[in-house]
Amino acid sequence: MVAVGASFGAIAVGAGIPVWATVAMSSIVYAGGAQFMAVGLIAAGSPFAAVFAGLLLNARHLPFGLAIGEVLGDRWSRRLLGSHLMTDEATAFSLAQPEGEPRRRAFWFAGIVLFLAWNAGTVVGVLLGGAAGDPATLGLDAAFPAGLIALILPALRDRDTRRVALLGALVAVVTTPLLPAGLPVLLALTGLAVLFLPRRRDPVPEPPPSGGAAAPDREESTC
């Protein structure tokens, strides 16, 4: 996490983002891959696309909150802080523990450690990027794609996720020469989100009793 945070800090200042804004983004926004995407889109001159892409990418936190809502506690202050510290790693680490106090301790421990590591890495990256000047001097121009690859590699173990990622990449690559900067990424994200939304299925009718379906009632004839 420190290494990826350092990559973000270096690429952000190299892209012209002020130091204070880079540090504030890591501490206030704290969105991992969305921060990398935002920096790339802002550098390309698409700030609106950066905001929209970040919101869309982090929509996955909604089911995270439903899954570990009880871990955050009942007080609104703890829920507010916990939602800020919620990441893929902290959520997964928490859900791997037994319910109750072990799961609660795991979430808060992982959340706090990861938050501190990310922000410490950002500060290191800012200092490194500021000293280097041109990001290409120390190869920091490769930090953006390398950071994104490091973030998505664990998720690519799932076959369906690989298919979705490859399709999204294909859409972005094909439309990049045709659309303004930032729009290919948004098109890929929104298209995949709509395409892979769970579809409502008609309820399956229950099978008849083992004795067969009951015959319809008939009026008995009277003599």
pLDDT at position 219? 46
pLDDT at position 47? 78
pLDDT at position 113? 93
pLDDT at position 160? 74
pLDDT at position 108? 92
State both tokens at 205: 């009718």
Q: What is the mean pLDDT of each run of 10 residues along the chain (223 residues)?
A: 81 85 90 81 77 75 78 84 86 82 89 92 83 54 58 68 77 77 66 53 48 47 43
